[in-house]
Structure 1
Amino acid sequence: MQKWLKKWVVTGLLFGLGMSASLPVKAAKSSQTTQSNVGFSVAAKIPKNQINKKNSFFDLKMKKGQTETLQTVIYNSSNKDIKVQTRINTAYTNTNGTIEYVSPTTNYDPSLKYKISDITKLTGAKTVTVPANGSKTISAKISMPSEQVNGVILGGWYFKRVDDKVTGSVKGAMNMKSQYSYVIGLKYTSGKIPQPNMKLGSVKAGMSNYHRGIIAELRNPTAVMIPNLTTKSTITSKDSDKVVKKATRKGIQMAPNTSYNYPMLLGDTKLQAGKYHLHMVVKNTEHQWTFDKDFTITATSAQKYNKESVDNNGISIWWLIGLGALGMLVIVLLILWLIFFIKKRRQRKD
């Protein structure tokens, strides 16, 4: 009996070697096995106003009020028609400190005046059918603002195969339902490029993936990417001058006009109500910013996050997984023993 057990989503993301930061592009070449599994690929039709002709993503020089039609070709390498869903996403920095082109968000930095998803619109259907062993060209229209934009507007053109696909069929085995996706970077450069700048927003107690900690909001209010940042942070109690937390994070990529909620997790240490001070240095090879900020953890928020945190379990998630696996093994052994017992009993009766 065939069962759908799991949905795999494989995102085809490669990164361009730009001076500013990495942008996603299509897979230029795939192995025969990969092409067979994925079943489709995408390629941007590079226009004349491409800044760097070597880039496979859209790296465009734009002017105020300019309109332009972009085209991407979807190739179907399978022996049947496929459906591909597409959309335009505005880039932002996610909680991992990387630039996100795939998953859209609703929380944008207030400095972001023009979203790429607002000025770039698909001209056809959002879901298209690509014929077997054929191709389909789809279009999107850019409408730049009438006023001068100085800097970079960043995003991605996302493609996801949405028709059902089974990787194989084996009697008695479980089949996997697979979906595959690509994203092509969209980078519009206009006017004068501003100097990078970083700001520190709110600092407060909070949660990240159900782990308690101190969340510092790092902001890039400028229309330029700021790559390869390292943060070094020290949190001290204002009452005792005791160091509560030291944290270092490397490889942070800030999208233009974005906010990054940087989690400094406390692990087994519980949040304590009180007044604190954050000292943070943010830098890369070209720039450095130093921030100092006082903040308060209320008794209410400390109690709330301490109670909700998975850090309270006193046991590692891997221990839980191990115990679960052990429990499954015991159940399987009991079933096998029961089958063996029933079989032996029937043999005796015969």
Structure 2
Amino acid sequence: MKKLQLFLSAIFLTLSFGLAQTGYARTDDYTVKPIIPENQSNKDLGYFDILLGADKEQTLQVELSNNTEQEIKIDVTLSSAVTNMTGLVVYEPTEIVADSSLKYNLKDYVNTPKVVTLPPLTRQKLDLKVKMPNEAFDGQIAGGITFSKEGQNDKEEDSEGITVKNTYSYTIALLMRQNDNEVSPDLKLKTVSPSQINGRNVINVNLQNPTMTYINTMNVKATISGISNTDIKYTYSNSMMQMAPNTSFDLPIPTSNQSAATRVSEPLKPGKYRLQLVVNARTDNQRKI
């Protein structure tokens, strides 16, 4: 385990614009259960965390059960792990763009059927064919396998004509490593820019983890102070955040009135600002749930 401390202060930005003020999963229909292999790092985990040599191949298995008296089809989707704007690692498919530091995207190294048909009241094993990259590396490839029942995206209307969608999916994380060597942590500040979330003004601080290791237990404290106008001050703090290997995310610092119950969004004023950002975190080779 290694500790990481990042202190960023006296970082200047100029705003010359005007924004408007404005594991094991079960449903009644089916179940999904990973079959833990012998080369699993910890057999008590409810997801895959395998140790496999460079250029080696392996077949992992997931047990699918149809608990209904009708045939059902399950969509299977592979995705690389990403970090969302709240500092949570996401293993299911998203619209988040892969970071530029990502060299090995998990979906390029796993093959599996895209659709599985389950007859009524049956149990079936699904093969996941894994191939490790032929290059040696320290760290982890991280991602997930998502299972969702077909037909859930069909629109349904209630008696008042309101459209309702109920969709359920289950994701099993898959971590792949070649060894147990520790990876030195790194955290980079990439950009600082104005933006909006749900009509509220924020200042996005883009943080990047360019290494093949998790950054766990991230505690973030940020202060943005006006240089042109010293009366302006925005503060933000968050604890127990996490970043997946080779990912980046925009940390949104709100420009709202932090003392007000309604947290009314304030318009960003043109001028120069100073960002002071302190991040304390630790890394290890284990995904934390």
TM-score category by the smaller chain? 0.7 to 0.9
1:198 offset after TM fit, Å?
1.0
* Mapped contact 2:215–2:282 kept (Cα < 8 A): no
Partner of 1:204: 193
Q: Where does structure 1 lack aligned partners over 5 or more consecutive residues?
A: 1-24, 288-350
TM-aligned CA deviation for residue 175 of structure 1: 10
Query: In the alignment, what sits opposite 1:74?
Result: 64
Q: Match for 2:62: what amino acid? A: T
* Maintained 8 Å contact 2:216/2:283: no
CA change 1:216–1:82 in 2 (3 A) is same
Q: Deviations over 1:261-310 (max 9, x none)?
A: 100111322111112111100113679xxxxxxxxxxxxxxxxxxxxxxx
Corresponding residue for residue 325 of structure 1: none
Q: Which has the higher contact order (CA 8 A, sep 6+)?
A: 2
Which one-letter code corresponds to 2:131 in the other structure?
Answer: S
Aligned match for 2:240, one of 248, 251, 254: 251
For 1:87 and 1:112, how far apart are their aligned partners in 2?
Answer: 19
Select which of 98, 109, 113 maps to 2:99: 109
Evaluate the alpha carbon distance shift between residue 281 and residue 164 of structure 1 in structure 2; reply closer, same or farther with a 3 A threshold: closer
Are 2:136 and 1:136 aligned?
no
Partner SS, residue 138 of structure 1: strand
TM score, norm. by length of structure 1: 0.66
Secondary structure of residue in 2 paired with 1:284: strand
Q: Which is helix-richer, 1 or 2?
A: 1
Which protein is bigger by CA-based radius of gyration? 1
Structure-2 change in CA distance of 1:209 and 1:50 (3 Å): same
Taking the aligned partners of 1:148 and 1:258, their CA distance within structure 2 comes to 20
Cα distance in 2, alignment partners of residues 285 and 234 from structure 1: 22
Secondary structure of the residue that 1:280 maps to in structure 2?
A: strand
Percentage of identical aligned residues: 30
Structure 2 SS opposite 1:179: coil
Describe the superposition over 1:48-105 as per-residue Cα deviations: whole angstroms up to 9, x where unpaired: 1111011121110121111111111111111211111001110010122111111234
Give the CA RMSD over aligned residues.
Answer: 2.6
8 Å CA contact 1:82, 1:163 repeated in 2: no
> 1:63 matched to which residue of 2?
53
SS of the aligned residue for 1:277 comes to strand
Distance (whole Å) between structure 1 residues aligned to residue 269 and residue 178 of structure 2: 48
Deviation at 1:163, TM superposition (A): 3.5
2:172 is matched with which residue? 184
Q: Could you tell me how far 1:134 is from its partner in structure 2?
A: 0.5
When the two structures are aligned, how many residues end up with a matched partner? 250
2:12 match: none
Match of residue 204, structure 2, among 194, 212, 215: 215
| CA distance in structure 2 between the partners assigned to 1:221 and 1:186 by the alignment | 19
- For 2:168, what is the secondary structure of its paired residue? strand
The alpha-carbon distance between structure 1 residues 171 and 275, as it changes in their structure 2 partners (threshold 3 A), is closer
Paired residue secondary structure (1:117): helix
Structure 2 residue 261 is the aligned partner of structure 1 residue 272: no
CA distance in 2, matches of 1:274, 1:142: 52
Write out per-residue CA displacement over residues 185-239 of structure 1, whole angstroms, 9 at most, x where no aligned residue.
1011223231222111100111223321100001111111111211101111223
Over residues 166-196 of structure 1, what are the superposed CA-to-partner deviations in whole Å (9 max), with x where a residue is unaligned? Answer: 9xxx999999664321111101122323122
Q: SS at the partner of 2:41?
A: coil
